[in-house]
Amino acid sequence: MEPIKCLIIGSGPAGYTAAIYASRSGLKPVVYEGPLSGGQLTQTSEIENFPGYPDGVDGNQLMDDLRKQAERLGAEIRFGVINHVDFGTEKGGIHKAVTDDGDEIEARTIIICTGASAKYLGISDEKKYAGMGVSACATCDGFFYRKKIVAVVGGGDTACEEAQYLSHLASKVYLIVRRNVLRASEAMQQKVKACDNIEILWETQTEGLFGDDGVEGAHLVRRKGSPDEERLDIRIDGFFLAIGHHPNTEAFLPRTAADGVMMPGVEVDNEGYIIVKHPTTATNLPGVFAAGDVADPIYRQAISAAGSGCHAAMDAERYLNGI
Q: Which residues are catalytically annotated?
A: 137, 140-141
Q: Do 294 and 133 touch, CB atoms closer than 8 A?
A: no
Task: Report the 3 state secondary structure along 253-308.
Answer: CCEECCCCCEECCCCECCCCCECCCCCCCECCCCCEEECHHHHCCCCCCHHHHHHH
Residue 161 backbone dihedrals phi, psi, to 5 degrees:
-65, -45
* Distance of alpha carbon 311 from alpha carbon 148, whole angstroms: 39
Q: How many CB atoms lie within 10 A of CB 176?
A: 27
Residue 202 backbone dihedrals phi, psi, to 5 degrees:
-75, 155
The four Cα atoms 48, 50, 52, 55 give a dihedral, to 10 degrees, of -10
* Distance of alpha carbon 70 from alpha carbon 109, whole angstroms: 18
End-to-end CA, the chain? 26
Q: For residue 226, give every residue at least 6 positions away whose Cβ sits within 8 Å of its Cβ, in sequence order, or none.
A: none
